[in-house]
Amino acid sequence: MIQLNVGNVLLKPSQRKQVMASLRRAMKIGQRLGNFMLDLRMSRCGRNFEVKAIVRDSAGEFTCHSRQHDWRGAMREMAQILVSRLHQQWIMRSAAAA
């Protein structure tokens, strides 16, 4: 499950779809892990956009954040970080089961 809180950032409906599409791969990995919950918060700090993510799943819990000049860059970096961390959790879980 993904919970998106855009705070003081104004996004059009098409931009919300772009955000959700960028998180599709992370969502698939999280569902494989089980009990996946992603709380995504966007805010504007001066000229920068800040994206914070709190992830909870059966393998553990972690947080990460990204700050960029545009929201697309911040979301792109956040999606890369999330996929990397979730994949790392998947590998650790697989190694522990073997």
* pLDDT tens figures, 45-78: 999 999 999 999 998 999 999 999 999 999 999 9
Percent of the chain residues topping a pLDDT of 70: 100
Sheet containing strand 48-57, edge to edge, reads: 2-5, 37-45, 48-57, 60-68
Cβ atoms of 53 and 39 within 8 Å: the answer is yes
Tell me the CATH number for domain 2-97.
3.30.160.100
CA distances from 93 to 48, 55, 61, 89 (A): 36, 16, 13, 6
Give the pLDDT confidence score for residue 96 in this predicted structure: 87
Mean pLDDT to the nearest integer, 70-98:
93
User: What are the domain boundaries of the chain?
Assistant: 2-97
